[in-house]
């Protein structure tokens, strides 16, 4: 089967998420709880009987949010709030905002004031996760989130139902990781754009349906694979908070490149770690969070992000690294110097591109990406 037809539902879901979600609500007669990227425990939302919906961006009039937020606030937050103000998130019944930076810490109260949902909650992630107390704190925080969801649902979350949700999401992450591996081995099988369409589309679709489609996609790719690399390509590692805009992937593919690794919240970081299926479910959810890939907002003393990225680039045999930074993202910009020095020490060329949700200068990016890839010299695997 042509995987284009199988990928199409993911593309449609990203283009018109309201249509997808409203159809689900009409059929299931259940509610939808959204979340900002991305450390929110979706398994709890799912087990409570709600559809988890990741707000990955969209076509929004940014000026709406700029009447409430300073222009130097990151464009992802401004875009998300603009979607709500433009009534493009009216299908949501609830919202969870993880504390990942100074902006997200103050966002919930503002959102409640100007566009409230019936259920709204913060998810207060620990900052110093190397401390022994971090695990206990996170368990209590997850219990608090669980209790709030139960109150909104009007009934307790059944432990067996939560285990089944964990199994469902673990299966989803495993399927996506398998497709990531196929792409890294041979990007002619599935392009960078198609790969990240699957990952991001999964965030806005019912996971049961997603898994059915991913199983078919994986089977189709396995049947088509000859286990040999088709052609030569430049292996690129991308790093940043969020992958945006997706057109960057088209530029990379058109220049003979392939994205073979990343640490994006809407990329590999989203699917890298599973939840251990065990009796103490909340502790297992906390364990997954504490083992996630380091990020600008979630670094680990014994596994600093700069070392993680340098090791990842070497492991994936990357020819180069593109740092993709949102304008005014202070955590990302703070990390940049150390990350760049780590790449220099590893002998891996790197470039930094600045982006904004809905406002990236694609022409300028095209020129810089082409120049960077020409400088890499058209390396092969």
Delineate the domains of the chain, giving CATH numbers in brackets: 9-158 (3.40.50.11890)
- Which pLDDT value is given to residue 227? 52
State mean pLDDT over 217-232: 75
Q: Which helix (H) or strand (E) holds 84?
A: helix 75-85
Give the 3-state secondary structure of 107-150: HHHHHHHHCCCCEEEEECCCCCCCCCHHHHHHHHHHHHHHHHHH
What is the edge-to-edge ordering of all strands in the sheet holding 234-240? Answer: 257-262, 234-240, 320-326, 350-355
The average pLDDT across 97-117 equals 93
Confidence of residue 380 (pLDDT cuts 50, 70, 90): very low
- The per-residue pLDDT for 343 is 96
| pLDDT (mean) for 347-368 | 88
Grade residue 102 by pLDDT with cuts at 50, 70 and 90: confident
Tell me what pLDDT residue 71 has.
84
Arithmetic mean of pLDDT, 220-232: 71
Residue 221 has pLDDT above 50, yes or no: yes
Asked which of 95-109, 157-171, 243-257, 290-304 is least confident by mean pLDDT, the reply is 290-304
The answer, yes or no, to whether residue 161 has pLDDT greater than 90, is: yes
Give the pLDDT confidence of 42-68 residue by residue, as tens digits: 999 999 999 999 999 888 888 898 889
**Average model confidence (pLDDT) for the chain?**
92
How confident is the model at residue 379, as a pLDDT? 42
Residue 381: per-residue pLDDT: 40
Give me the sign of the Cα torsion angle 6, 10, 12, 13.
positive
pLDDT tens, 267-326?
A: 999 999 999 999 899 999 999 999 999 888 777 777 899 999 999 999 999 999 999 998
Position 63 scores a pLDDT of 85
Which H/E stretch holds residue 288?
Answer: helix 281-290
């Amino acid at each position: 089967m042509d995987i284009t037809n199988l990928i199409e539902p993911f593309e449609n879901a990203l283009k018109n998420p309201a249509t997808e979600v409203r159809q689900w609500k009409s059929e299931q007669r259940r509610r939808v709880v959204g979340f900002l990227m991305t450390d929110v425990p979706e398994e709890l939302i799912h087990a409570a009987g709600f559809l988890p919906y990741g707000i990955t961006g969209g076509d929004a009039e940014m000026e709406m949010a700029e009447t409430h937020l300073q222009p130097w606030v990151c464009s992802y937050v401004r875009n998300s709030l603009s979607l709500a103000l433009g009534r493009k998130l009216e299908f949501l019944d609830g919202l969870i905002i993880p504390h990942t930076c100074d902006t997200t810490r103050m966002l919930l109260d503002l959102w409640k004031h100007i566009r409230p949902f019936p259920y709204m909650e913060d998810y207060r992630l620990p900052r110093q996760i190397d401390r022994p107390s971090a695990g206990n704190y996170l368990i209590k925080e997850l219990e608090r989130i669980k209790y709030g969801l139960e109150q909104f649902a009007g009934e307790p979350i059944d432990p067996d139902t939560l285990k089944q949700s964990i199994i469902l999401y673990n299966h989803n992450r495993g399927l996506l990781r398998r497709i990531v591996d196929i792409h890294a081995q041979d990007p002619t099988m599935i392009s960078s754009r198609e790969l990240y369409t699957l990952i991001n589309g999964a965030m806005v679709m019912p996971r049961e349906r997603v898994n059915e489609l991913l199983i078919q996609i994986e089977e189709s790719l396995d049947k088509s694979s000859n286990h040999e690399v088709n052609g030569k390509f430049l292996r690129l590692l991308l790093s940043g908070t969020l992958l945006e805009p997706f057109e960057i992937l088209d530029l990379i593919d058109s220049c003979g490149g392939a994205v073979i690794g990343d640490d994006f919240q809407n990329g590999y970081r989203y699917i890298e770690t599973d939840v251990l299926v065990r009796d103490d479910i909340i502790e297992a959810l906390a364990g997954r969070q504490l083992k996630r890939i380091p990020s600008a907002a979630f670094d680990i003393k014994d596994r600093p992000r700069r070392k993680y990225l340098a090791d990842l680039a070497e492991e994936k045999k990357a020819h180069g690294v593109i740092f993709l930074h949102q304008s005014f993202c202070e955590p990302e910009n703070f990390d940049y110097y150390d990350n760049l020095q780590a790449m220099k020490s590893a002998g891996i060329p790197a470039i930094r591109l600045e982006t904004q949700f809905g406002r990236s200068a694609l022409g300028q990016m095209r020129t810089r990406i082409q120049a960077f890839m020409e400088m890499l010299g058209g390396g092969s695997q």
